[in-house]
């Protein structure tokens, strides 16, 4: 084990992460979902449709204290394999396996760089909050790519630099002072945070991570980590390409396309850029989020959701899990998601509420009230509406 991996393993043994919870049902009932759960976000991972027959084979690489068990519990027809360096974290996963009788969960202690030794292939690989802690994230991503099934998908989360600016300032300061991971040093970090001026860039991060920073493991993970890097949009796309993979898309388009969060005055100028450049501009103009959640696949398996041509009529639309629609007599219909809201008209509202994955777009348009309109008109209306819903991250699409 190299020096960095040994330090990382020690940290997650002393401070298992995330702070463990033990009631999976209660969490689900509260609507708290794991972003890598295919039961919830499956259309984002496999827009071309799920493989027929057997359940998914899922790898949770760097599974931490709960992720593999959460996925096994939520997807009883899947086989879930969890791998982690930290036996303390795996100990909690074993506890959950027993408590919830998860016969579909296998756990292994080890470095994800060696995952090839399992001699398995996976339809979905979840690796969230892990690769940016490796000495060689390229080797880590390549190792995951080597066990990805030909039509499989990877759901990855790595840190983004802009939303973590304040975290990196403090990490650097604490490193210079020589703070380690002792309880005394954790207490010193808390004292510094409590006295940090309101103008410090860390304050926004503190608000967003409030719950996790109540735990010592959250303080250590954020501010005293021995190995932590972030990827800008440009760096991330280069990284995926360099490791022989293809970039399929983001989990939350709302934060990456310019449509929602940027002044309409500049949108025509941004629209003239390539999609990749648009994402890079949005990252700098919006200044958030602090992580990038995205899907990578083998280049020939990448399926980009598109509303060109005719194939989009075969998509089944799903409302994005965090999106909700409300009607108010004065304000009309509004779709709410992640603190933003979007006005829709009555017909758009109908198409949104029908988005439960049961019908294709073609089937929706064959029903009232849409069937009353000339075919070309209803198609153009639906194409524009669903394309907008996609770019705003309010709907998902699957064949």
Ligand X SMILES: C[S@@+](CC[C@H](N)C(=O)[O-])C[C@H]1O[C@@H](n2cnc3c(N)ncnc32)[C@H](O)[C@@H]1O
Stretch binding ligand X (CB under 6 A), from 106-114, 206-214, 243-251, 284-292 = 106-114
Strand 122-128, strand 105-109: pairing: unpaired
Confirm if 212 and 291 have CB atoms less than 8 A apart.
Answer: no
- Of 57, 107, 111, 316, the one binding ligand X by CB under 6 A: 111
Which residues are CB-contacts of 210 (< 8 A; sequence separation ≥ 6)? none
Distance of closest approach, residue 30 Cβ to ligand X, in angstroms: 17
Distance of closest approach, residue 357 Cβ to ligand X, in angstroms: 26
Q: Does 303 bind ligand X (CB under 6 A)?
A: no
Give DSSP secondary structure letters for 112-162.
GGGGGGG---EEEEEEES-GGGSS-HHHHHHHHHHTEEEEEEEEEEEE-SG
Q: Which one, 67 or 278, has the nearer CB to ligand X? A: 67
Q: Which one, 63 or 382, has the nearer CB to ligand X? A: 63
- Contact set for ligand X, span 214-253 (CB under 6 A): 221
- Contact set for ligand X, span 126-165 (CB under 6 A): 128-130, 133-134
Q: Which one, 60 or 398, has the nearer CB to ligand X? A: 60
* Cα–Cα distance measured from residue 351 to residue 394, given in angstroms and rounded to the nearest whole number: 12
Could you tell me how many residues of this chain bind ligand X (CB under 6 A)? 23
CB-based burial, 160-195: b 16+ in 10 Å, e otherwise: bbbbbbbbbebbeebeeeebebeeebbeebeebbee
Distance of closest approach, residue 203 Cβ to ligand X, in angstroms: 22
In the complex, residue closest to ligand X by CB: 64
Distance of closest approach, residue 123 Cβ to ligand X, in angstroms: 18
- Of 86, 93, 222, 278, the one binding ligand X by CB under 6 A: 86
Distance of closest approach, residue 226 Cβ to ligand X, in angstroms: 11
* Cα–Cα distance measured from residue 260 to residue 375, given in angstroms and rounded to the nearest whole number: 29
Pattern 5-44, ligand X, x by CB under 6 A: x--x---x----xx--------------------------
- Of 20, 42, 43, 62, the one binding ligand X by CB under 6 A: 62
Q: Which one, 47 or 82, has the nearer CB to ligand X? A: 82
Give DSSP secondary structure letters for 55-124.
PPEEEEET-TTTHHHHHHHH-TTSEEEEEES-HHHHHHHHHHHHHTT-TTEEEEES-GGGGGGG---EEE
Residues β-bridged to residue 328: 332
Binding site for ligand X (CB under 6 A): 5, 8, 12, 17-18, 62-64, 67, 83-86, 89, 111-113, 128-130, 133-134, 221
């Amino acid at each position: 084990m190299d020096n960095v991996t040994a330090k990382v393993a020690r940290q997650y043994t002393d401070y298992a992460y995330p702070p463990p919870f033990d009631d999976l049902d209660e969490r689900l009932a509260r609507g708290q979902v794991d972003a890598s759960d295919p039961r919830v976000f499956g259309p984002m991972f496999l827009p071309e449709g799920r493989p027929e027959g057997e359940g998914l084979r899922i790898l949770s690489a760097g599974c931490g204290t709960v992720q593999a068990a959460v996925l096994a519990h939520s997807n009883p027809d899947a086989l879930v394999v969890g791998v982690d360096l930290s036996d303390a974290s795996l100990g909690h996963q074993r506890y959950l396996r027993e408590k919830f009788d998860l016969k579909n969960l296998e756990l292994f202690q080890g470095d994800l760089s060696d995952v090839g030794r399992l001699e398995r292939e996976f339809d979905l690989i979840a690796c969230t909050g892990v690769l940016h802690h490796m000495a060689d994230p390229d080797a880590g991503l390549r190792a995951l790519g080597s066990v990805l099934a030909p039509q499989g998908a990877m759901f990855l989360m790595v840190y983004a630099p802009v939303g973590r600016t304040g975290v990196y300032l403090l990490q650097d300061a604490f490193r210079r002072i020589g703070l380690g991971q002792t309880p005394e040093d954790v207490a010193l970090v808390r004292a510094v945070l409590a006295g940090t001026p309101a103008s410090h860039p860390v304050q926004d991060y503190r608000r967003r991570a409030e719950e996790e920073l109540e735990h010592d493991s959250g303080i250590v993970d954020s501010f005293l980590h021995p190995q932590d890097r972030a990827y800008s949009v440009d760096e991330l796309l280069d990284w995926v390409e360099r490791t022989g993979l293809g970039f399929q898309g983001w989990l939350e388009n709302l934060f990456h396309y310019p449509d929602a969060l940027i002044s309409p005055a500049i949108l025509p100028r941004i629209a003239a850029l390539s999609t990749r450049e648009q994402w890079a501009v949005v990252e700098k103009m919006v200044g958030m989020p602090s992580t990038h959640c995205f899907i990578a696949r083998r280049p020939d398996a990448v399926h980009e959701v598109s509303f060109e041509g005719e194939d989009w009529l075969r998509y089944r639309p799903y409302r994005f899990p965090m999106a909700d629609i409300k009607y108010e007599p004065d304000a009309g219909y509004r779709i709410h998601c992640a603190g933003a809201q979007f006005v829709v008209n009555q017909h758009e509202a109908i198409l949104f509420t029908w988005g439960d994955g049961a019908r294709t777009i073609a089937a929706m348009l064959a029903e009232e009230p849409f069937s009353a309109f000339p075919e070309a008109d209803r198609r153009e209306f639906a194409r524009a509406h669903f394309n907008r819903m996609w770019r705003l991250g309010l709907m998902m699409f699957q064949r």
